[in-house]
Amino acid sequence: MARLGIRRTAERRKKIVAALSVFLEMYTAVSAFILLMASAASLNSYRPSTRRYSLESYPKREYVRRILNNNESCISLLRMNLQGFYKLCEMLESLGGLKPTRNIAIDEQVAIFLHILAHHVKNRVIQYNFRRSGESISRTFHKVLNAIMHLQGHLFRTPEPVPTNCTDNRWKWFKNCLGALDGTFIKVNVSSSVKIRYRTRKGDIATNVLGVCTPDMQFVYVLSGWEGSVADSRVLRDAISRTHALKVPHGCYYLVDAGYTNCEGFLAPFRGQRYHLNEWRQGYQPTNPQEFFNMKHAVARNVIERCFGLLKIRWGILRSPSYYPIKTHNRIIIACCLLHNFIRQVMQFDPMESELDEFDPAEGEMNLINTVDPSDAWTN
Ligand SMILES: *[C@@H]1O[C@H](CO)[C@@H](O)[C@H](O)[C@H]1NC(C)=O
Ligand SMILES: *[C@@H]1O[C@H](CO)[C@@H](O)[C@H](O)[C@H]1NC(C)=O
Ligand SMILES: *[C@@H]1O[C@H](CO)[C@@H](O)[C@H](O)[C@H]1NC(C)=O
């Protein structure tokens, strides 16, 4: 009986192998045919710069092909023009260690990743659009995220102090200033046992992200991961004392708001004086030197608010709680900041900047501080 069984399975295996090899031959013939058809069809749209990444024969690439067909669709879906997109692919491959897989070329991997960041679409939707399995989308997302994290040294900016001959009306008052610094909340999804620590004063579940930017709105340093209930000043204390610390060269400083202490390297406005941009915009004139200082301070420090504004306009994933665990989300936040810098470096005009003036970061309450500042050397 047992022998018979073995012989039978052996025969079955033989049959299957025979059937498979016929199928394989047919499959090869058919795919060669498809390949031929597709390359004929894509000749018209052949562009040399895309050649390196093309698996144009692959029918599943239909959606990527459509996105990468012109600047408009590329900007609206991936937030950068074609030139920028291919440059990013190149950087991720050569510096970030991103590798193509047998079926998914680098450009498609990057497109999947950017599409998720920009529009915060669910894995299911991406599966449908790109015609890939959920597992494959998820693997791709993490691969590209890792590769982007490798670009930190290339994409974070090294700040330069405002020179003495600066003519920019916002910055010329702040010689040796490096830029501005502030915190922003980004909503996250955490388990209910730790929710309380992530609850902000407004009741959102969020992480408190410290961002530091240059006068031309590029990030110098970003620290993500502190719970929403933690005060800004504590996050800053951590930032300047950790291994990869925010460093402020001697004699240089960043502008900070009154939530931080005025100290070496960080210049805060005078307390107990008017300090809010909207008031100056409404035509209110400063009545003393401290108010005048605060006015200039508020105007210049506003770059960091605009930077955060742009970041959230650009990347939908930062506007609502993500489906990703908090640890991943913190890396996503860093990746968004790096890509923000990248876009501002490679594109002549930031495509999102025109939307910034309509964007309300949901603050704007008067920022009048009522306590009196203890005067110290730095204040002077
Ligand atoms: C895309 O935009 C860039 C920069 O504006 C331009 O140089 C390039 O020719 C455009 N490419 C296409 C395909 O429209
Ligand atoms: C400021 O001075 C530096 C050299 O000291 C010069 O290279 C730069 O062009 C000057 N900038 C302006 C705006 O005059
Ligand atoms: C938040 O995370 C939990 C698991 O920790 C998950 O079950 C839930 O679906 C997530 N919420 C959203 C909106 O993705």
Protein residue whose Cα sits closest to atom 5 of ligand 3: 191
Report CA(162)–ligand 1 centroid distance (Å).
33
77 contact partners, CB below 8 Å, separation of at least 6: 67, 111, 114, 115, 118, 119
Whether the pLDDT of residue 363 is over 50: the answer is no
Whether the pLDDT of residue 168 is over 90: the answer is yes
Residue range 121-155, pLDDT digits in tens: 888 899 999 999 999 999 999 999 999 999 999 99
| pLDDT of res. 380 | 43
| pLDDT of res. 59 | 73
Q: What is the DSSP code (8-state) at residue 224?
A: E
Residue range 4-46, pLDDT digits in tens: 444 444 444 454 444 444 444 444 343 433 333 333 333 333 3
Whether the pLDDT of residue 82 is over 50: the answer is yes
Distance, first Cα to last Cα, the chain: 99
| pLDDT of res. 368 | 35
Q: Report percent pLDDT > 90 for the chain.
A: 63
Compute the distance between CA of residue 164 and CA of residue 265 in angstroms, rounded to an integer.
Answer: 18
Contact 163 CB / ligand 2 (< 6 Å): yes
Residue 211: left (phi > 0), alpha (psi -120 to 50), or beta? beta
Element (H, E) at 107: helix 106-119
Confidence of residue 54 (pLDDT cuts 50, 70, 90): low
Residue among 125, 189, 190, 207 to mutate when testing ligand 3 (max atoms within 8 A of CB): 189
The token pair that represents 205 in the structure block: 């579940």
Confidence of residue 290 (pLDDT cuts 50, 70, 90): confident
| pLDDT of res. 141 | 96
Q: Which atom of ligand 3 is nearest to the CA of 189?
A: 1
Least confident range from 52-56, 241-245, 303-307: namely: 52-56
Residue among 323, 324, 326 to mutate when testing ligand 3 (max atoms within 8 A of CB): 323
* Rg, C-alpha atoms of the chain: 27
Compute the distance between CA of residue 133 and CA of residue 101 in angstroms, rounded to an integer.
Answer: 14
